[in-house]
Amino acid sequence: MIIDCHGHYTTAPAQLQAFRDAQLAHFRDPSKPEPALAAISDDEIRESIENNQLRLLRERGADLTIFSPKASGMAHHEGDLAISQVWSRISNDLIHRVCTLFPENFIGVCQLPQNPEAPVETSVEELRRCVLELGFVGANLNPDPSGGWWKGRPLTDRSWYPLYEALVELDVPAMIHVSGSCNDNHHHTGAHYLNADTSAFMQLIQGDLFADFPDLRLIIPHGGGAVPYHWGRYRGLADMLKKPPLAEHLMKNVFFDTCVYHQPGIDLLFEVIDVDNILFASEMLGAVKGIDPETGRYFDDTKRYVDALDIPESAKAKVFEGNARRVYPRLDAALKAQGR
Amino acid sequence: MIIDCHGHYTTAPAQLQAFRDAQLAHFRDPSKPEPALAAISDDEIRESIENNQLRLLRERGADLTIFSPKASGMAHHEGDLAISQVWSRISNDLIHRVCTLFPENFIGVCQLPQNPEAPVETSVEELRRCVLELGFVGANLNPDPSGGWWKGRPLTDRSWYPLYEALVELDVPAMIHVSGSCNDNHHHTGAHYLNADTSAFMQLIQGDLFADFPDLRLIIPHGGGAVPYHWGRYRGLADMLKKPPLAEHLMKNVFFDTCVYHQPGIDLLFEVIDVDNILFASEMLGAVKGIDPETGRYFDDTKRYVDALDIPESAKAKVFEGNARRVYPRLDAALKAQGR
């Protein structure tokens, strides 16, 4: 089977964004009414999925998406901790409804109620709820909850450890994924996302996080940002910083996805990164929506690029399925419970 | 001949850094003495170059380096405008001395006296001095003089235009190059540099800078950051933003260097970027100093990677020489005056 480890609910019914707008309006001006999420019917959810992610999943021949709230919508820099908690809960509950309506095609990954002013342990409760009550299999961890200003601490700082402890205890991985950028210098999908991937990887090189958390698993999306393209630089920097070789220092715990939207990029990724560290993903729907005039195919139809690789079928099976089952053990258990 | 378009004077005699330390100490505490640069002899400069950059240039079979002050040393976020002006002048004068001592091997590119609080027109005078009086052929332009906090405006903002006007008038290009990072999230050579390259390119996609400055030429170093690896994403984003194709929108004016420290990265660069837009460079000395255990060669010996490409000799000649002469017309003129 083919598992896409990185999809976002960018097509949620309009009631969700209306709630968010009203929530932030109320936060800024408490004289405005405190909103509640307007009812969303199952049919509305079905329609939003069947005409979009599910249609594309089927057209492209994939089976299941590991599904999370819209990344740019998390906006942990907006409002305060309480705002983030309510917003995360509502967003995650909607993912849960999608997964309940389409149990064979979607499984949840949660948004965390981070806030730049709040310690990360305040995210642990929502992580537990999503994993233990809603059947989610992972979390999206924002390394920059300040939204493009990078006011917080690197991922190797001990302040993050309570979250890592919970991830390890629950046996779920985190995808390192920023949200929107409120810094005009960094376009969100064209700069901030990739830069965050790159900075996160370098932070991990500088630190020794996996000495403290040998069982922690982190997915760096968008093909690892700039990292595979500059793999020589990173091997060299690890050496200059007197760290072990990357295979040993990081690559038992760090995984890259295949959200790289052209064949030469995917070719490079597979040339330099061990196939055990690559997870199939498309990031659909919406980061790059169009059709590549050079191929006549959607830029984000990343399955075609992987299909075109001259590697053994057994390697493709790892990338499409086996690695995801290994990195997300709760996904594997859920699939086995379905007889898959 | 073989021109390396990106080298830094990372090996300057210790008097330079001693001056800088004293300069900043005086800035922070005016009761401390106002320093002057201690005398540096020609022999000291010769030694610092002959044992380092020139030795490697010769060993690797290159001829000339377009040479600028140490990038992380620019530190435009330190002190104020006056500090930056004095520091830039001293740093550029030292580059000039190197170029005067080794006129066949080094030609200058200047550090600009930027400061996050100062308008960029305050850099024009030093640019003019370096080009018109010292024979420099370009400038390093820091897109983030706040040193990793990105507090300024994108490169397409009109506040940058006075500098672009001067660059066009003088017919010199700028390399977009940040300095050190004072944000712990972003290691300088492992994250901030590459992220700046990526953000700068995306800023240029979002804007229409070259409609206003059709003759402006910008070099994005470090192989263009994450851009070539994600070339499909950028082509798709340009399309989503209703911009012309990149070949037309940016690639008459934007150039990438070859500071990518492994063969697969260089292969990708040449696969996706037109050979007319690639300039040979190594970034030596110092970004990544070691020897790659996989090849037994220095990571930053980028000439080997270009030599190994299966492309016509005429294409290599462009990358090694022709493109640099075209992008840096004052370099071309200086070489012709030397009969080269």
3-state secondary structure at position B326: helix
Q: List, for residues B208-266, the tens digit of each pLDDT value.
A: 999 999 999 999 999 999 999 999 999 999 999 999 999 999 999 999 999 999 999 99
Torsion sign over Cα B91, B92, B95, B101: negative
Q: Which of B78, B126, B283, B321 is catalytic?
A: B283
Q: What is the DSSP secondary-structure string of A8-58?
A: EETT--HHHHHHHHHHHHHHH-TTSPPP-PPP--HHHHHHHHHTTHHHHHH
Q: Answer yes or no: do A226 and B231 touch at CB < 8 A.
A: no
What is residue B286's predicted lDDT score, i.e. its pLDDT?
85
Q: List CB contacts (< 8 A) between A247 and chain B.
A: none
DSSP A158-171: GGGHHHHHHHHHHT
* Min distance A156 CA to chain B CA atoms (Å): 10
Residues in chain A closer than 8 A to B274 (CB atoms): none
- Catalytic residue IDs of A: 283
Work out the average pLDDT over B167-190: 98
For residue A40, what pLDDT is reported? Answer: 98
ipTM: 0.98
Min Cα–Cα distance to chain B from A132, Å: 32
Per-residue pLDDT of chain A (340 residues; tens, 9 = 90+): 999 999 999 999 999 999 999 999 999 999 999 999 999 999 999 999 999 999 999 999 999 999 999 999 999 999 999 999 999 999 999 999 999 999 999 999 999 999 999 999 999 999 999 999 999 999 999 999 999 999 999 999 999 999 999 999 999 999 999 999 999 999 999 999 999 999 999 999 999 999 999 999 999 999 999 999 999 999 999 999 999 999 999 999 999 999 999 999 999 999 999 999 999 999 988 899 999 999 999 999 999 999 999 999 999 999 999 999 999 999 999 999 999 9
DSSP reduced 3-state for A5: strand
Closest CB from A229, A268, A288 relative to B236: A288
pLDDT at A190: 98
Number of CB pairs < 8 Å for A and B? 196
Dist. CA B330–CA B173, nearest whole Å: 10
How crowded is residue B106: how many other Cβ atoms within 10 Å of its Cβ?
23
Beta carbons of A87 and A125 less than 8 angstroms apart: no
Task: Give the model's pLDDT for residue A101.
Answer: 98
Is B89 a residue whose pLDDT tops 90? yes
**Nearest chain B Cα distance for residue A152, angstroms:** 8
Please state, in angstroms and rounded to a whole number, the distance separating the CA atoms of residues B199 and A194: 9
Strands B64-69, B3-9: pairing kind: parallel
Residue B318 in 3-state DSSP?
helix
Q: What local confidence, expressed as pLDDT, does residue A286 receive?
A: 85
Cα–Cα distance for residue pair A37/A19, rounded to 1 Å? 5
CA-based nearest residue to A143, from B183, B20, B7: B183
Alpha-carbon gap, residue A44 to B250, rounded angstroms: 42
Give this prediction's pTM.
0.98
